[in-house]
Structure 1
Amino acid sequence: MDDFPGFDHLLIVPRLRVQNANAISSPLTHGFPAITAFLGLMWALERKAREADIDLQFNAVAVVAHDHQEQVTDSTFVKAFRLTRNPNNKDGKPAAIVEEGRIHLDISLIFAVQGPALSADPDHNAGLARQVHDLLLQMRIAGGSVITPIANGARHMPYLLALTGNDEDRQALFASSMWRLLPGFVLVERTDLLQQRHTELLALDPEASRLDAWLSLSRINWRAPQSDEDDKPIEKQPWLNDRQDLGWIAPIPIGYGALSELQAPGSVTNARDGSTPFRLVESLYSIGQWISPHRLRAVEDLLWYAESDTERGLYRCRNRYQPETDYSFD
């Protein structure tokens, strides 16, 4: 079932600085933490809030990237991760290098929330947002350390946005809040581009798979022009980029698919949690796009939420961005 979770407020936490987050998002992708890391952060934050007697339910999350600095070499065309070999072993000698990718981030987080802790009193909600923000500063984001931001007025303070009133009021409120997150880019899913590319490849090769389509969209493919243009010989025309006009797209992991049957709790040796059923999984992939927040027309375009289908063995992240479809807040 693809049911969008309910919520009535957005908790917006602007301008968090994260140092040394995990830049290797899956076995095949790198450059930004996986969206699963932010869903995991959301659930961990909900548990911390409950421990602090804050009855708040976190149902979906979005991430806006303002700046990033992947820790890679830039001296040659082929880049490599800057690696460290600390700490030293107990004999004082340097430890073996552990292959890891790190990235510094400047991001904003948006959580879709609901619960008894929320109130119609703006002052109460402002204090609640600060409480959750303080809890967030004590956590790690995608393995990275959260650096306490420098206060810069109300623009960089966390706040709760109540989606109340009619559809027009809520839409105007959501749109105005997105302007406050500029400059930046929000990650959305573009499954439609993957399906479109697969259809194009099937016209050329009936045996083309969705993996072929994903790999094709993951790189820039140059092809020669097919016909004369402006009376110029074909050999003098520029080659064509098949990702042109598709926007800033990137391959992304979106969850996990099962490789084994579901095992009973405690039946697998050395499992991390002995009270939860165990299953071997592998990464699932899709195509994502970075777009400016002010281009979003509905809050459903923004948010990511979890969907589990144990029978099919799918545990994936969902996003409902549709370039040509308007959503209702109902």
Structure 2
Amino acid sequence: MSELPNLEAILVLPRLRIQNANAISSPLTHGFPSMTAFIGLMWAMERKARAAGIDLRFPAVGVVVHRHEEQATPDRYVKTLHLTRNPNDRSGSPSPIVEEGRIHLELTLLLGVKGAALDDPTHTGPLTRQLLDLLYGMRVAGGSLVPPRQHRAEHVPYFMPLGGSEDDRLDVFASTVPNWLPGFTLVERPDLLLLRHDELKANQPDATALDALLSLARINWHAGEPDADADADAKIIWHNDRQGLGWVVPIPVGYGALTPALAAGSVANARDNETPLCLAESLYSIGEWLSPHRLESVEQLLWYPTTDLHTGLYRCRNGYQPELEHSFD
């Protein structure tokens, strides 16, 4: 079982405005960028920081979303994506329309950090501004960062220290959380998936983990048990099995290898001819959107990457609750 890497502080980049981020998080899900996109941003930030002479590592990342606006036309049952109309090609014919989902976001980005650059506490102010300038030259989940119209105190980046005793860290978290409200953060809830799988197997012994995922991703209505004393014409009461679950959503959590790793340069038309390559498919789990004030520590909202070359799993994990030992039949 993997654990969250040790961290020295959290770099808080508050109230970032992002236009046209990728809203299609996987082949099966949409509505918010995948956490793998933010892990990719975390790695790119680390490379840029080191190239700028900043000795920092970024082992984990989290987001608190304050506002979101998916570029789609709402309907009762089906949403239609807002698509761009591209200019005609050289022959004068209309260019083909490639469907892409876009979303506007306002979020606070949290990056777990460690490194020698944190040793000088008098340099943290200029350091946070330098890191924010690096971020403004990058894409966030495919979207463009928009500078604030007015620079206010709520837009100033800062480090949240994680040193001292556990009580000290909890006090720092409790005093910082109000700055992130109103907002919601995404955590993983594999326990809900395992529980639903066990519930389905009670009536369907051949139910799979995918059946459990699909069951949690929709509203399932069931007729209530009739009252023995009610008359035969009594109205049937229906209830759904999402009541009390919270804001639960299916989420992609990484990739599973479909082939062994292939030698660098052995696959034609690959983006990178210097890195081994393998074909992969998306991995899915269940997540929940929670207000950060419901968490006990900042570590519970952070996501971090793990790699298991033996099983071919390239997965991001979240520390909201411990993994449960369970195997799907």
Preserved contact between residue 151 and residue 157 of structure 1 (Cα < 8 Å): no
Q: Secondary structure of the residue that 2:180 maps to in structure 1?
A: coil
Which range is displaced more, 3-12 or 109-118?
3-12
Distance (whole Å) between structure 1 residues aligned to residue 239 and residue 76 of structure 2 = 26
Number of the residue aligned with 1:327: none
Distance (whole Å) between structure 1 residues aligned to residue 304 and residue 216 of structure 2 = 24
Number of the residue aligned with 2:63: 63
CA shift, 1:230, in A, is 9.4
The answer on 1:309 being equivalent to 2:308 is yes
Number of the residue aligned with 2:181: 182
Unaligned runs of 5+ in 1: 324-330
Counterparts in 2 of 1:1-330, with a 5 A limit? Answer: 1-74=1-74, 77-121=77-121, 123-228=122-227, 235-322=234-321
Residue 80 of structure 2 aligns with an amino acid whose one-letter code is A
Q: Secondary structure of the residue that 2:107 maps to in structure 1?
A: strand
Residue 112 of structure 2 aligns with an amino acid whose one-letter code is A
Which range is displaced more, 83-92 or 288-297?
83-92
Distance (whole Å) between structure 2 residues aligned to residue 88 and residue 118 of structure 1 = 52
Residue 188 of structure 1 aligns with an amino acid whose one-letter code is V
Q: Secondary structure of the residue that 1:117 maps to in structure 2?
A: helix
Distance (whole Å) between structure 1 residues aligned to residue 147 and residue 272 of structure 2 = 32
CA shift, 1:233, in A, is 6.8
Preserved contact between residue 198 and residue 213 of structure 1 (Cα < 8 Å): yes
Taking only aligned residues, the RMSD between alpha carbons, in angstroms, comes to 1.8
Residue 310 of structure 2 aligns with an amino acid whose one-letter code is E
Count of aligned positions:
322
CA shift, 1:76, in A, is 6.0
CA shift, 1:231, in A, is 5.6
Q: CA deviation digits over 1:216-253, x for unaligned, max 9?
A: 00001111102429968795253111011010010000
CA shift, 1:188, in A, is 0.2
TM-score by length of 2: 0.93
Which range is displaced more, 193-202 or 149-158?
149-158
CA shift, 1:165, in A, is 1.9
Identity of matched residues, %: 58
Unaligned runs of 5+ in 2: 323-329
- CA change 1:153–1:195 in 2 (3 A) is same
Q: CA deviation digits over 1:49-94, x for unaligned, max 9?
A: 1111111100000011111111112366421111113143123443
Distance (whole Å) between structure 2 residues aligned to residue 233 and residue 31 of structure 1 = 44
Preserved contact between residue 8 and residue 161 of structure 2 (Cα < 8 Å): yes
Distance (whole Å) between structure 1 residues aligned to residue 92 and residue 105 of structure 2 = 33
CA shift, 1:271, in A, is 1.2
Preserved contact between residue 15 and residue 154 of structure 2 (Cα < 8 Å): no
Distance (whole Å) between structure 2 residues aligned to residue 300 and residue 230 of structure 1 = 52
